[in-house]
Chains A and B, each alone.
Chain A
Amino acid sequence: MNIETSSRAGSMESNDILIMLHPSENDIQIDLESKVYLQYGPQILKVIQQTLEEEDIHGVHVVARDSGALDYTIKSRVKTAVSRAKKAGPAYE
């Protein structure tokens, strides 16, 4: 399933992650910026990917700005962003 409109969830506050979803024809693509990229980059990407797959989302461009969020926060913000995209429905030109 793909989302049809952009959405966002989370924030730039410490311990949080800002997730922005944009519809895409391609597979899941994640642009991640994080203060702890060296130590947790792979893990953050994994959690975002897994959560999207659990939500059955395949065509999406994710922009993620991380401020040291733990896994439970990343998972939650992705789910909220997906749910907001679904609720908004298709975007009209």
Chain B
Amino acid sequence: MINRLGREVPEAIDGYGMCRSYPREGGNLHTITPKNYIKNNQPRSGDKIRSDLGELINELGIKDGMTLSFHHHLRNGDKVLQVVMQAVSDAGLKDITLAASSIFPAHACLVEHMQNGVVGQITANYISGPVADAISSGDLKKPAIMYTHGGRARAIESGDLSIDVAFIAAPACDGHGNISGSEGRAACGALGYAIPDAQYAQTVVAVTDNLVSYPTPFTEIGEEYVDYVLQIKCIGDPEGIVSGTTQITRNPIGLKIASMATRVIEASGLLKDGMSFQTGAGGTSLAVAHFLAEKMKEHSIVGSFASGGITGYLVDMFEQGLFKSLLDVQCFDLEAIRSYRENPLHQGMSASRYGNPHNKGCVVNQLDVMILGATEIDLDFNVNVTTASDGRIMGGSGGHSDTAYGSKLSIVVTQLVKGRLPIVKKQVTTLTTPGTSIDVLVTERGIAVHPKRKQLRGLLQQAGLPVFSIDELYQMACGIAGEPSEFSLDEKIVAVVEYRDGSVIDVVRKVKT
């Protein structure tokens, strides 16, 4: 069955259920109630602390097939997922659904749990490393579900993703369950992705290596949501927490792309007082922030907010007075963590406030300019950030689809050809973000504007920028690299790409060995 985006999506998928078709129209969106009321058999305030994980699992009554959730604010330094899942495995449990907000190479232990049947399903917004490879090779019993950041919040708040126990890594926590991300050896700043879990999971366990006296300073998630406080030796490795951050690219091609993207922003007319801005964490995306800062200073522009994924570069722009506020769903480095703790105008936002399309308002809809990456982009401007060109999972939307949709001007920055592979293709291998959300593609050899943005195209041409049709860029790429051979993947569906509104926009198939 070909959906409205031209992708082959079945009506129903084994292990997933019925596939809602894209786009999901109309009303009757429902929400479940937050679960922060006292249930029978659960500890009263004053009796929440536990220090034996094995016993706690028993006490929680975790059964086969339950859904356990984890956040990824400790990034590649996280130890909580590994520790908890080992105990789950030791307890002989099977068929667990692991609802992680993202999965990193540090979570490699999951591969064995997948192969042993301890973990039967995984849901995540971004998957990288050995777990991604294992899923691509078909090692997971049910198809993985890949959400967007906003979409996962939607799924939790609507009951589509029903969490039995949320394990929330807490860099600092008091005995009553007030959680902070800003203090402690494993400080990570904002805890935006954990908030929906805290509010809607049946049972919430704060996992900490840093029990502080009441009340926790800089409380991010309050005691009114937390059932247990589990003490373990170490929740995360500080060095791994700030891994995955990148520096501004030094590659002259990346710098040229970033400089051209900044000229696009200028020509669009959005470079003015009150503007808002967000960029990805890649080297070229950060370089755009750098050039934008120069232009803003040149024209004495003060923006309203910068959002994301906050890095030291954005903190720098903020502290120089270029933005009035920062809206932060996760901190990427120590500078961001410091600023978050020190500056009240550097505000946190939950994943729901960030990008849930079904709540009463989300930040991505207020965004002017968004800078995005792409593994592939096709002639309809559809973008793939989920799989590599060989079909292997290497990422996922994260906030890509949310910000692309909500922003006034979404700009994809990428080299035209990378390691001989053309980034512009006839059809993307996997569709992560629909082309209707993408406005401009900037490469070092030319710029393409989505056909629906005729006026914008005119402005860019007037500004002297090298504007081509996306078809011309595709021809250019093939002219340089040669046309790539077609190859096929296995029939078996290993992951479902769920759009932010809960519809299924594409599927990921198993790689052939």
Contact = CB atoms under 8 A, between A and B. Distances in A.
B269 interface: no
A43 B482 contact: yes
A39 B419 contact: no
A55 to B, nearest CB: 21
A50 interface: no
A39 B389 contact: yes
Contacts of B421: 36, 39, 68
Interface residues of A, number: 15
A71 B419 contact: no
Contacts of A69: 420
A38 B482 CA distance: 13
Given A38-B390, A39-B389, A70-B480, A15 B485 contact: no
B487 interface: yes
B390 A14 contact: no
B487 A38 contact: yes
Nearest to A42: B485
Contact of A15 (B389, B419, B482): B419
B484 interface: yes
A5 to B, nearest CB: 31
Interface in B2-53: none
Interface string B390-404: 100000000000000
A35 interface: yes
B361 to A, nearest CB: 44
A24 interface: no
A91 B389 CA distance: 43
A56 B492 CA distance: 47
Contacts of A70: 420, 480-482
Contacts of A89: none
B480 A39 contact: no
A41 interface: yes
Contacts of A51: none
Contacts of A15: 419-420
B335 to A, nearest CB: 30
Contact of B419 (A38, A41, A43, A67): A67
Nearest to A14: B419
Interface range, B side: 10 to 19
Given A14-B419, A70-B420, A43 B485 contact: yes
Interface string B282-312: 0000000000000000000000000000000
A35 B419 contact: yes
Interface string A34-68: 01101111110000000000000000000000011
Given A15-B419, A36-B419, A40-B420, A71 B485 contact: no
Contacts of B482: 40, 43, 70-71
Contacts of A71: 482
A30 B389 CA distance: 24
Given A68-B419, A68-B420, A38 B480 contact: no
A29 B75 CA distance: 46
B111 to A, nearest CB: 23
B184 to A, nearest CB: 40
Contacts of A36: 389, 419-421, 484
Interface in A17-33: none
A41 B485 contact: yes
Interface in B455-494: 480-482, 484-485, 487
Instruction: Count chain B CB atoms within 10 A of each CB in A14, A39, A71 and give the residue with the most.
Output: A39
Contacts of B481: 40, 70
A42 B487 CA distance: 12
A68 B420 CA distance: 5
Contacts of B389: 36, 38-39
Contacts of A38: 389-390, 485, 487
B55 to A, nearest CB: 49
Interface string B401-439: 000000000000000001111000000000000000000
Most buried by A among B389, B390, B480, B485: B485
26 contacts: A15-B420, A35-B419, A36-B389, A36-B419, A36-B420, A38-B389, A38-B390, A38-B485, A38-B487, A39-B389, A39-B420, A39-B421, A39-B484, A39-B485, A39-B487, A40-B420, A40-B484, A40-B485, A41-B485, A42-B485, A43-B485, A67-B419, A68-B419, A68-B420, A70-B480, A70-B482
Given A39-B420, A68-B418, 9 more contacts: A36-B389, A36-B419, A36-B421, A38-B485, A39-B421, A39-B485, A39-B487, A42-B485, A70-B480
Interface of A: 14-15, 35-36, 38-43, 67-71
Interface of B: 389-390, 418-421, 480-482, 484-485, 487
